[in-house]
Structure 1
Amino acid sequence: MKILITGGNNAKALKLLKAFPTHFVLLADYGEVPGILTENYAFTSLGALNQDSIAHILLNFCITEAVDCIIPLHQYEVEPLAKAAVLFSEYNIEVLTPPAEAISKYLRAAQSSFKNFAVFIKGECIFASGGEIFIKQEEELNGVFGYNEPSDDLKLFTI
């Protein structure tokens, strides 16, 4: 499986690599990105940033690069991608965000850092950096969520 993680120039994106040890990960960002290619991951550019057409830029990129799954880390990408998730699914590309109508529940009011993160796919936790075992959640829990303690409200892991 090929996974695209946006915000590739940020350290948070690099942290996510350990959640996908058996997949190839593209760490992508807008503008200039170092050209690094390894066996398990690569850095690549998404071109110039145009926030008005984020979903279009990312869909085009995913189709061109044969991406199976996209994890948006830039906060300005989350809502447009959640709204376009059905379109992405028509191309067999999974968008890891909660549904568009639930996004506000998972966004942080202020930028803060998290000690841990967890990756959920349709409510099932596939990785938790703190080693916690999360029981199956509601199906809308889809994406990467940050937390400090397992009892915290989960918030989207964005930059």
Structure 2
Amino acid sequence: MKAFPTHFVLLADYGDVPGIVSEHYAFSSLGILNKDSIAHILLNFCITESIDSIIPLHNFEVEPIAKSAVLFGEYGIDVLTPHADLVADFLSTEKNTFQNFAVFVKGECIFASGGEIFVKKEEGFSGVFGYNSADDDFKLFTI
């Protein structure tokens, strides 16, 4: 939320989700989880809710969303993940236990919880990344 202080953030998950709405954020349900059609479910949701950017947080969402980034882009929706051919390099097989997080949008770091200033990365570098110290390899934050 701190990375997007001037945006309205819609947090969503599958199944029952508390219907909370505030001035800056809301919670919403994505319906029943169907891992075979994740990209379709999320694209439909983004179009219906007029979402302009999506950050997949579940590990099972990342690759399907990254692979569908062009389709999302046709509807004006930015997918905040690395390019599909690179996304596996940023996924961790271990449980996330990061001390810090950085949010990159099209290569530019817009937020770093550790206060670091990161050099601009390539244009296709987007997402929420975890790290412990500034010289660590970034890993996508997933739940």
> Which residue does 1:139 correspond to in 2?
123
Counterparts of 1:92 and 1:104 in 2: how far apart (Å)?
Answer: 25
2:103 maps to which residue? Answer: 119
Q: Could you say which residue in structure 1 is the equivalent of 2:3?
A: 19
- The aligned residue for residue 128 of structure 1 is 112
Matched residues, percent identical? 71
Counterpart-to-counterpart distance in 1, 2:37 and 2:96:
27
TM-score by length of 2: 0.98
* Cα distance in 2 between the residues matched to 1:94 and 1:101: 17
Runs of 4+ in 1 over 4 A off after TM superposition: none
**What is the deviation of 1:139?**
2.5
Q: Could you tell me which residue of structure 2 aligns to residue 89 of structure 1?
A: 73
As a proportion of its length, which structure holds more helix? Answer: 1
1:41 to 5, 25, 38: 25
* AA matched with 2:83: P
| Cα separation, 1, equivalents of 2:68 and 2:122 | 21
Unaligned runs of 5+ in 1: 1-16
Aligned partner of 1:106 among 86, 90, 97: 90
Distance in 1, matches of 2:137 and 2:16, equals 35
Structure 2 residue ranges without an equivalent (≥5): none
Task: Give the residue type in structure 1 aligned to 2:136.
Answer: D
Question: What is the number of equivalent residue pairs in this alignment?
Answer: 143
Q: What's the secondary structure of 1:109's corresponding residue?
A: coil
Q: Deviations over 1:94-114 (max 9, x none)?
A: 000111110111011211211
